[in-house]
């Protein structure tokens, strides 16, 4: 299949596919006229990339998964290198969640504090002291 079809079937753009190729993630064959030519294995490969990107992986982090698929494995995540990336990413995500959680708590505190102040001011005005 040609690049347009692959793009459509993977929910991405031709531009991105060329970029993945440029990054060495997609080894592309060419037809006689110079058009890129893809098959079902490329489809799976790009699907894998897109799924990982969608959950926040960087393109570079998808490489082990891609290579795992290329090595003939049915799934991109059965290879040690992929597992290692999973672990690393899990740690990153957990740390990020922790940070965001404390930010969230901080924001809630600020809002609560302000709400309390507004409440009190309403109260004062209701009692003719504002």
Binding site for DNA (CB under 7 A): 2-5, 12-16, 18-20, 32-36, 53, 58-60
The residue with tokens 């672990």 is: 87
Residues 50-79 that bind its own copies (CB under 8 A): 55-56, 77-78
Told to check if 111 binds its own copies by CB under 8 A, we report yes
> Are the C-beta atoms of residues 6 and 17 closer than 8 Å to each other?
yes
Closest CB 66 distance from DNA, rounded Å: 13
What CA–CA distance (Å, rounded) separates 54 from 33?
34
44 touches, from DNA, its own copies, none (C-beta below 5 to 8 Å by class): none
> Are the C-beta atoms of residues 45 and 70 closer than 8 Å to each other?
yes
Question: Is the CB of 88 or the CB of 114 nearer to DNA?
Answer: 88
What CA–CA distance (Å, rounded) separates 97 from 87?
15
Closest CB 128 distance from DNA, rounded Å: 44
What CA–CA distance (Å, rounded) separates 66 from 60?
10
Question: Is the CB of 49 or the CB of 69 nearer to DNA?
Answer: 49
9 touches, from its own copies, DNA, none (C-beta below 5 to 8 Å by class): none
Question: 21: closest CA among 32, 13, 11?
Answer: 13
Told to check if 123 binds its own copies by CB under 8 A, we report no
Candidates 2, 70, 104, 124: give the one binding its own copies (CB under 8 A).
Answer: 104
Residue 30: helix, strand or coil by DSSP? strand
């Amino acid at each position: 299949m040609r690049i347009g079809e692959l793009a459509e079937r993977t929910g991405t753009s031709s531009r991105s596919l060329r970029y993945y190729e440029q990054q060495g993630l997609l080894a592309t064959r060419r037809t006689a006229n110079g058009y890129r030519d893809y098959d079902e294995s490329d489809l799976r490969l790009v699907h894998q990339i897109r799924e990982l990107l969608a959950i926040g992986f960087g393109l570079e982090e998808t490489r082990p998964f891609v290579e795992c698929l290329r090595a003939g494995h049915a799934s991109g995540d059965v290879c040690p290198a992929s597992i290692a990336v999973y672990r690393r990413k899990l740690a990153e995500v957990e740390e990020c969640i922790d940070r965001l959680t404390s930010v969230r708590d901080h924001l809630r505190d600020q809002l609560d504090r302000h709400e309390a102040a507004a409440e009190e001011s309403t109260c004062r005005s209701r009692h003719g002291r504002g």
